[in-house]
Amino acid sequence: MSTSHRRRRDIAAEVTRTIIARLEAGTPPWSRPWSLTGEGGRPLRHEGTPYNGINCLWLWSIADACGYRSRYWMTAKQARDLGGNVRRDARPSMSIYASSFRKAGAPGLMSETPSRLIRFLRHYTVYNADEIDGLPSYYYPRDVAPTPTLLSLRQKEIDAFFAAIPAEVREGGDRAYFHPLLDYVQMPKAGSFRSADARASTLGHELSHWTGGAARLDRTFGKRFGDDAYAVEELVATLSEAMICAELGLPTELHDSHASYIGSWLSCLRADKRVLFTAASKADQAFNYLRAFSRAEATATPQKLAA
Protein backbone atom coordinates (compact mmCIF):
# COMPACT_ATOMS: atom_id res chain seq x y z
CA MET A 1 0.00 0.00 0.00
CA SER A 2 2.80 2.35 0.89
CA THR A 3 4.58 1.58 -2.40
CA SER A 4 1.48 2.33 -4.48
CA HIS A 5 1.00 5.54 -2.50
CA ARG A 6 4.54 6.67 -3.39
CA ARG A 7 3.95 5.88 -7.05
CA ARG A 8 0.83 8.03 -7.08
CA ARG A 9 2.56 10.96 -5.42
CA ASP A 10 3.14 13.79 -7.88
CA ILE A 11 6.60 14.78 -6.73
CA ALA A 12 7.13 17.41 -9.42
CA ALA A 13 3.87 19.16 -8.56
CA GLU A 14 4.58 19.01 -4.82
CA VAL A 15 8.05 20.50 -5.15
CA THR A 16 6.81 23.20 -7.52
CA ARG A 17 3.96 24.16 -5.17
CA THR A 18 6.41 24.54 -2.29
CA ILE A 19 8.78 26.76 -4.26
CA ILE A 20 5.87 28.85 -5.57
CA ALA A 21 4.70 29.40 -1.99
CA ARG A 22 8.18 30.58 -0.97
CA LEU A 23 8.38 32.96 -3.94
CA GLU A 24 4.92 34.33 -3.21
CA ALA A 25 6.01 34.95 0.37
CA GLY A 26 8.98 36.94 -0.95
CA THR A 27 11.59 34.50 0.39
CA PRO A 28 13.26 32.58 -2.46
CA PRO A 29 14.95 29.59 -0.78
CA TRP A 30 18.21 30.19 -2.65
CA SER A 31 18.47 33.68 -1.08
CA ARG A 32 19.27 32.38 2.38
CA PRO A 33 22.17 34.28 4.05
CA TRP A 34 24.46 31.25 4.34
CA SER A 35 27.32 32.89 6.22
CA LEU A 36 24.95 33.79 9.06
CA THR A 37 23.22 30.42 9.47
CA GLY A 38 25.92 28.10 10.69
CA GLU A 39 28.53 26.78 8.29
CA GLY A 40 26.34 27.10 5.21
CA GLY A 41 26.87 25.52 1.83
CA ARG A 42 24.98 22.95 -0.18
CA PRO A 43 22.95 20.25 1.61
CA LEU A 44 25.00 17.13 2.36
CA ARG A 45 24.22 13.42 2.55
CA HIS A 46 25.21 11.57 5.71
CA GLU A 47 28.65 10.71 4.32
CA GLY A 48 29.34 14.31 3.24
CA THR A 49 28.47 14.14 -0.48
CA PRO A 50 26.68 17.33 -1.65
CA TYR A 51 23.18 17.04 -3.08
CA ASN A 52 22.82 18.20 -6.68
CA GLY A 53 20.12 19.61 -8.93
CA ILE A 54 16.58 19.64 -7.64
CA ASN A 55 17.56 18.03 -4.31
CA CYS A 56 19.85 20.95 -3.56
CA LEU A 57 17.07 23.47 -4.19
CA TRP A 58 14.39 21.36 -2.48
CA LEU A 59 16.35 20.72 0.72
CA TRP A 60 17.43 24.37 0.85
CA SER A 61 13.75 25.28 0.70
CA ILE A 62 12.75 22.85 3.45
CA ALA A 63 15.65 23.92 5.67
CA ASP A 64 14.73 27.56 5.20
CA ALA A 65 11.04 26.95 5.96
CA CYS A 66 11.77 24.83 9.05
CA GLY A 67 14.72 26.83 10.37
CA TYR A 68 17.24 23.97 10.13
CA ARG A 69 20.88 24.98 10.46
CA SER A 70 22.63 21.66 9.82
CA ARG A 71 23.66 20.85 6.25
CA TYR A 72 23.27 17.10 6.78
CA TRP A 73 20.31 14.91 5.78
CA MET A 74 19.94 11.15 6.22
CA THR A 75 17.49 8.26 6.48
CA ALA A 76 16.41 6.88 9.86
CA LYS A 77 18.58 3.79 9.28
CA GLN A 78 21.64 5.88 8.44
CA ALA A 79 21.05 7.85 11.64
CA ARG A 80 20.87 4.63 13.69
CA ASP A 81 24.06 3.32 12.07
CA LEU A 82 25.79 6.50 13.22
CA GLY A 83 24.50 6.09 16.78
CA GLY A 84 21.71 8.64 16.45
CA ASN A 85 17.94 8.56 16.90
CA VAL A 86 15.36 10.49 14.90
CA ARG A 87 13.06 12.36 17.26
CA ARG A 88 9.45 11.20 17.36
CA ASP A 89 8.17 14.60 16.25
CA ALA A 90 10.76 15.00 13.47
CA ARG A 91 9.43 16.25 10.14
CA PRO A 92 10.25 13.88 7.28
CA SER A 93 11.35 15.23 3.94
CA MET A 94 12.28 13.50 0.70
CA SER A 95 15.33 12.93 -1.43
CA ILE A 96 14.28 12.77 -5.07
CA TYR A 97 15.74 10.61 -7.81
CA ALA A 98 14.78 9.79 -11.37
CA SER A 99 13.91 6.26 -12.45
CA SER A 100 12.62 4.67 -15.64
CA PHE A 101 11.27 1.51 -17.18
CA ARG A 102 10.81 0.35 -20.76
CA LYS A 103 7.24 -0.30 -21.89
CA ALA A 104 7.00 -3.05 -24.48
CA GLY A 105 5.50 -2.18 -27.84
CA ALA A 106 2.04 -3.40 -28.81
CA PRO A 107 1.55 -5.90 -31.66
CA GLY A 108 -0.09 -4.49 -34.80
CA LEU A 109 -1.24 -5.70 -38.21
CA MET A 110 2.10 -5.05 -39.90
CA SER A 111 4.61 -5.09 -37.06
CA GLU A 112 5.09 -4.43 -33.39
CA THR A 113 5.29 -0.77 -32.32
CA PRO A 114 8.64 0.25 -30.80
CA SER A 115 9.07 0.05 -27.05
CA ARG A 116 9.02 3.31 -25.08
CA LEU A 117 11.23 4.48 -22.23
CA ILE A 118 9.02 5.83 -19.43
CA ARG A 119 10.73 8.22 -17.00
CA PHE A 120 9.33 9.08 -13.58
CA LEU A 121 10.39 10.47 -10.21
CA ARG A 122 10.84 8.45 -7.02
CA HIS A 123 11.84 9.46 -3.52
CA TYR A 124 12.93 8.17 -0.14
CA THR A 125 12.49 9.76 3.29
CA VAL A 126 15.27 11.78 4.91
CA TYR A 127 15.59 13.87 8.07
CA ASN A 128 17.71 16.88 8.88
CA ALA A 129 20.42 16.32 11.51
CA ASP A 130 18.87 19.09 13.61
CA GLU A 131 16.05 16.62 14.40
CA ILE A 132 18.33 13.68 15.16
CA ASP A 133 19.88 13.19 18.63
CA GLY A 134 23.16 11.44 19.36
CA LEU A 135 25.04 12.01 16.11
CA PRO A 136 28.78 12.84 16.12
CA SER A 137 29.29 16.55 16.82
CA TYR A 138 30.36 17.52 13.29
CA TYR A 139 26.81 16.89 12.03
CA TYR A 140 25.60 19.88 14.02
CA PRO A 141 26.34 23.47 12.92
CA ARG A 142 28.76 25.88 14.51
CA ASP A 143 28.27 29.63 14.40
CA VAL A 144 30.39 31.48 11.84
CA ALA A 145 31.05 35.19 12.20
CA PRO A 146 29.67 37.46 9.46
CA THR A 147 32.05 38.66 6.76
CA PRO A 148 33.37 42.20 7.35
CA THR A 149 31.83 44.67 4.92
CA LEU A 150 34.98 45.87 3.18
CA LEU A 151 37.17 42.80 3.29
CA SER A 152 36.19 39.21 2.58
CA LEU A 153 37.67 36.57 4.85
CA ARG A 154 37.06 34.21 1.93
CA GLN A 155 39.06 36.22 -0.62
CA LYS A 156 41.59 33.44 -1.20
CA GLU A 157 38.81 31.00 -2.12
CA ILE A 158 37.02 33.63 -4.22
CA ASP A 159 40.18 34.41 -6.21
CA ALA A 160 41.04 30.74 -6.72
CA PHE A 161 37.54 29.99 -8.04
CA PHE A 162 37.18 32.90 -10.47
CA ALA A 163 40.77 33.42 -11.64
CA ALA A 164 40.85 30.03 -13.35
CA ILE A 165 37.74 30.70 -15.49
CA PRO A 166 38.84 31.69 -19.03
CA ALA A 167 36.07 34.24 -19.60
CA GLU A 168 36.76 37.79 -20.71
CA VAL A 169 35.68 40.07 -17.85
CA ARG A 170 35.65 43.82 -18.50
CA GLU A 171 35.35 46.45 -15.78
CA GLY A 172 33.60 49.80 -15.92
CA GLY A 173 30.16 51.38 -16.08
CA ASP A 174 27.30 50.84 -13.68
CA ARG A 175 25.82 47.56 -14.93
CA ALA A 176 26.73 43.88 -14.68
CA TYR A 177 25.77 41.69 -17.63
CA PHE A 178 26.91 39.01 -20.07
CA HIS A 179 27.09 40.11 -23.71
CA PRO A 180 26.17 37.00 -25.74
CA LEU A 181 27.15 38.36 -29.17
CA LEU A 182 30.61 39.62 -28.20
CA ASP A 183 31.03 36.90 -25.56
CA TYR A 184 32.26 38.90 -22.58
CA VAL A 185 31.12 39.69 -19.03
CA GLN A 186 30.83 43.33 -18.02
CA MET A 187 31.27 44.25 -14.34
CA PRO A 188 31.31 47.60 -12.53
CA LYS A 189 34.61 48.43 -10.84
CA ALA A 190 35.23 46.59 -7.58
CA GLY A 191 34.76 49.72 -5.49
CA SER A 192 31.18 50.04 -6.74
CA PHE A 193 30.05 47.03 -4.70
CA ARG A 194 29.11 47.19 -1.02
CA SER A 195 31.47 44.29 -0.27
CA ALA A 196 33.88 41.84 -1.88
CA ASP A 197 31.33 39.10 -1.24
CA ALA A 198 28.64 41.04 -3.13
CA ARG A 199 30.95 41.46 -6.11
CA ALA A 200 31.77 37.73 -6.12
CA SER A 201 28.06 36.88 -6.00
CA THR A 202 27.31 39.15 -8.97
CA LEU A 203 30.28 37.83 -10.95
CA GLY A 204 29.08 34.29 -10.30
CA HIS A 205 25.68 35.19 -11.72
CA GLU A 206 27.05 36.69 -14.92
CA LEU A 207 29.55 33.87 -15.45
CA SER A 208 26.67 31.42 -15.07
CA HIS A 209 25.07 33.16 -18.07
CA TRP A 210 28.46 32.88 -19.84
CA THR A 211 28.42 29.08 -19.50
CA GLY A 212 25.37 28.94 -21.77
CA GLY A 213 27.32 30.23 -24.79
CA ALA A 214 27.32 28.14 -27.97
CA ALA A 215 31.02 27.27 -27.57
CA ARG A 216 30.40 25.97 -24.05
CA LEU A 217 27.15 24.37 -22.77
CA ASP A 218 25.06 25.76 -25.66
CA ARG A 219 22.06 26.34 -23.42
CA THR A 220 18.87 27.38 -25.20
CA PHE A 221 15.23 27.30 -24.10
CA GLY A 222 13.46 28.98 -27.01
CA LYS A 223 11.67 25.99 -28.52
CA ARG A 224 10.28 24.68 -25.27
CA PHE A 225 9.50 27.83 -23.30
CA GLY A 226 8.93 30.41 -26.05
CA ASP A 227 8.44 33.89 -24.57
CA ASP A 228 9.41 32.58 -21.10
CA ALA A 229 12.85 31.41 -22.29
CA TYR A 230 14.69 34.47 -20.97
CA ALA A 231 13.04 34.19 -17.56
CA VAL A 232 14.04 30.51 -17.37
CA GLU A 233 17.64 31.37 -18.31
CA GLU A 234 17.63 34.01 -15.58
CA LEU A 235 16.38 31.41 -13.10
CA VAL A 236 19.18 29.04 -14.15
CA ALA A 237 21.81 31.76 -13.59
CA THR A 238 20.29 32.72 -10.23
CA LEU A 239 20.31 29.10 -9.00
CA SER A 240 23.85 28.57 -10.28
CA GLU A 241 24.92 31.78 -8.53
CA ALA A 242 23.44 30.42 -5.30
CA MET A 243 25.44 27.19 -5.71
CA ILE A 244 28.64 29.20 -6.24
CA CYS A 245 27.93 31.29 -3.14
CA ALA A 246 27.29 28.12 -1.15
CA GLU A 247 30.52 26.56 -2.44
CA LEU A 248 32.53 29.63 -1.38
CA GLY A 249 30.64 30.19 1.88
CA LEU A 250 29.23 33.53 0.71
CA PRO A 251 25.88 35.06 1.57
CA THR A 252 23.62 34.95 -1.48
CA GLU A 253 21.03 37.63 -1.92
CA LEU A 254 18.42 38.42 -4.53
CA HIS A 255 19.77 41.44 -6.40
CA ASP A 256 17.43 44.28 -7.27
CA SER A 257 18.03 43.64 -10.97
CA HIS A 258 16.61 40.14 -10.53
CA ALA A 259 13.55 41.05 -8.50
CA SER A 260 11.54 41.82 -11.63
CA TYR A 261 11.85 38.18 -12.69
CA ILE A 262 9.89 36.78 -9.74
CA GLY A 263 6.56 37.37 -11.49
CA SER A 264 7.86 35.65 -14.64
CA TRP A 265 9.21 32.74 -12.62
CA LEU A 266 5.88 32.29 -10.90
CA SER A 267 4.10 32.34 -14.26
CA CYS A 268 6.49 29.69 -15.65
CA LEU A 269 6.22 27.44 -12.59
CA ARG A 270 2.43 27.59 -12.53
CA ALA A 271 2.24 26.74 -16.23
CA ASP A 272 4.70 23.83 -16.23
CA LYS A 273 5.72 21.80 -13.16
CA ARG A 274 8.83 20.59 -15.04
CA VAL A 275 10.37 24.09 -15.29
CA LEU A 276 11.96 23.96 -11.84
CA PHE A 277 13.51 20.54 -12.45
CA THR A 278 14.92 21.69 -15.80
CA ALA A 279 16.30 24.92 -14.33
CA ALA A 280 17.87 23.13 -11.34
CA SER A 281 19.52 20.58 -13.64
CA LYS A 282 20.88 23.26 -15.99
CA ALA A 283 22.08 25.34 -13.02
CA ASP A 284 23.94 22.31 -11.69
CA GLN A 285 25.61 21.86 -15.08
CA ALA A 286 26.62 25.55 -15.15
CA PHE A 287 28.02 25.41 -11.62
CA ASN A 288 30.01 22.23 -12.29
CA TYR A 289 31.33 23.70 -15.55
CA LEU A 290 32.67 26.77 -13.74
CA ARG A 291 34.02 24.84 -10.75
CA ALA A 292 35.92 22.44 -13.02
CA PHE A 293 38.35 25.20 -14.07
CA SER A 294 39.63 25.85 -10.55
CA ARG A 295 39.81 22.15 -9.78
CA ALA A 296 41.81 21.51 -12.95
CA GLU A 297 44.12 24.39 -12.03
CA ALA A 298 44.64 22.98 -8.54
CA THR A 299 45.45 19.54 -9.96
CA ALA A 300 47.92 20.97 -12.48
CA THR A 301 49.78 23.19 -10.00
CA PRO A 302 51.97 20.46 -8.42
CA GLN A 303 53.07 19.36 -11.91
CA LYS A 304 54.02 22.93 -12.83
CA LEU A 305 56.07 23.26 -9.64
CA ALA A 306 57.76 19.94 -10.26
CA ALA A 307 58.68 20.98 -13.79
Read off the pLDDT of residues 44-79 as tens digits, 9 standing for 90 and up. Answer: 999 999 998 899 989 988 988 888 889 999 999 999
Mean local confidence (pLDDT), 29-41: 57
Residue 28 scores a pLDDT above 50: yes
- Per-residue burial over 273-299, b = 16 or more CB atoms within 10 Å of its CB, e = otherwise: bebbbbbbbbbbbbbebbbebbeeeee
pLDDT(168) > 90: yes
When mean pLDDT is compared across 57-61, 111-115, 184-188, 298-302, the lowest value belongs to 111-115
pLDDT (0 to 100) of residue 65:
83
- CB distance 193 to 255 below 8 Å: no
CA distances 273 to 185, 249, 266, Å, are 32, 30, 11
Distance CA 289, CA 213 (A): 12
CA nearest to 186, candidates 198, 170, 209, 207: 170
pTM to 2 decimal places: 0.78
Confidence at residue 61, expressed as pLDDT on a 0 to 100 scale? 87
Provide mean pLDDT across the span 188-210. Answer: 90
Out of 86-100, 161-175, 214-228, the most confident range is 161-175
Q: Cα(142)–Cα(165) distance, rounded to whole angstroms?
A: 32
Mean pLDDT for the stretch of residues 143-163: 73
The domain ranges of the chain are 1-103+117-146, 147-301
How confident is residue 36, by pLDDT bands cut at 50, 70 and 90? very low
Q: What is the pLDDT of residue 153?
A: 72
Work out the pLDDT band at 142, boundaries 50, 70, 90. Answer: confident
pLDDT of residue 250: 79
Find which of 35-44, 150-159, 257-266, 276-285 is predicted with most confidence, using mean pLDDT.
Answer: 276-285
Mean pLDDT of the 120-127 span: 88
β pairing state of 184-187 and 169-171: parallel
Q: Rounded CA gap, 108 and 130, in Å?
A: 57
Give me the phi and psi of 214, to 5 degrees please.
-60, -30
